[in-house]
Amino acid sequence: MYNNPKNKTLIFFSTHIINEMIVSEYKKLLNIDGYDVIFAIENSDGKFSKDFENPIQEFEFFGEKYKCFLYNENIHKSLNLPYYTGRKENDTLKNNMWYNGDYRFYYVKKIFPQYDFYWQVEYDIFCNGESYKPFLDKYVNNKADLIIQHKDRKIEPETKNWYWIDKTDWIYKGQKLHRSFYPLCRLSSKAINFLYQRRMEHDKIYSALEDKKINRWIMCELFTATELINNGYTHEYFDEYFYYTPEYDLTTTRIFENPDNRLYHPVKGNFLERLKNLEEENKELKQQVIALSHYTISFLGIKINLKNNIQK
């Protein structure tokens, strides 16, 4: 499937943890015409596999087998990517994959180079429906090099109100800056190639700076949009279909009871596990009530037979 794909778009579901909720979300991406899908798992510490030589491996999650692509140090080093995050040098791969979200596209494209487009879906997105198909259908014929979201479409250089813009004059002085949001985005193959080359060029400049503490390595959400838009690559935002929200706890908001096919982020934790815990707590409470119902208690001198007054 991945070596000679009939589909032109690859979706990689990026995560560093596996639980029932994440697997459930991944399944919503399967069996959609026109797309190949793969788990892309951060494995720099060998948590999932000690085999660092084979990036594609099969794992069983909750009784089903899945092909997985494992991010690790080997593939990072093979691309000669720097380890900068913010103003910190030689940071961990795990932190690099957060700060430099574009790196994941380079990793994936190196192993799966045959596709025209690449979607990244992060693990803490919740599709409030049975499938991502309604969302993906909006862009199936869209040839834009960058499809991404952010409600603040663009930020002018003189407007220093976004944290990641500070201390970036070493490379972006005088340029128009553009903002994006990375949990869900699509890049064309040619855009990925261009961004990779720009990272290499930035590295030559940044590595030569004497004091990196006063200069920030460009964060992915600024880097991707600014580089592509300013260099003539086509782009589109999808604010109306994707909503950046405060953290959702699906055991209290329960938005899944009214599917709207919208995408929510961030949805933290394993809400399926939370629901199981609530069910267990409910069972325990019922058992306590049943046990209590066998006793007669005295309240203000009035004897009450709980067994006859409690509905099980």
| Predicted local distance difference test score (pLDDT) of residue 97 | 87
> What gap in Å lies between CA 246 and CA 243, rounded to an integer?
10
Same domain, 183 and 199: yes
| Predicted local distance difference test score (pLDDT) of residue 271 | 54
Same domain, 283 and 181: no
Same domain, 101 and 76: yes
Residue 27 tokens read as: 């399944």
Assess if residue 131 is contained within a domain. yes
Same domain, 293 and 257: no
Assess if residue 4 is contained within a domain. no
Pick from 11, 40, 226: nearest CA to 131: 11
| Predicted local distance difference test score (pLDDT) of residue 304 | 45
Q: Which domain holds residue 211?
A: 9-269
**Can you give the CATH number for the domain in which 239 is found?**
3.90.550.10
Same domain, 236 and 175: yes
Residue 272 tokens read as: 């399926």
Assess if residue 161 is contained within a domain. yes
Assess if residue 3 is contained within a domain. no
Rounded to two decimals, what is the model's pTM? 0.83
Assess if residue 78 is contained within a domain. yes
| Predicted local distance difference test score (pLDDT) of residue 88 | 80
Strands 9-15 and 35-42: parallel
| Predicted local distance difference test score (pLDDT) of residue 300 | 44
- Residue in the structure block whose two tokens are 């032109």: 8
69 Cβ partners below 8 Å, 6+ apart? 12, 38, 39, 40, 41, 55, 56, 107, 108, 111, 112
Q: In sequence order, what DSSP letters do the residues of 147-189 get, joined into one string?
A: EEE-SS-EE-TT---SGGGTT-HHHHTTS-EE--EEEEEEEEH
Per-residue pLDDT of the chain (312 residues; tens, 9 = 90+): 666 667 899 999 999 999 988 999 999 999 999 999 999 999 999 999 999 999 999 999 999 999 999 999 999 999 999 999 987 888 888 889 899 999 999 999 999 999 999 999 999 998 989 999 999 999 999 999 999 987 555 555 444 578 888 899 999 999 988 888 889 999 999 999 999 999 999 999 999 998 877 899 999 999 999 999 999 999 998 866 666 666 677 666 677 778 888 888 887 655 556 555 555 656 666 665 555 545 444 444 444 444 444 443
Centre a 10 Å sphere on the Cβ of residue 131 and count the other Cβ atoms it contains. Answer: 16
| Predicted local distance difference test score (pLDDT) of residue 4 | 62
Residue type at 257 in one-letter notation: E
Can you name the residues that pair with 59 across neighbouring β-strands?
66
| Predicted local distance difference test score (pLDDT) of residue 3 | 64
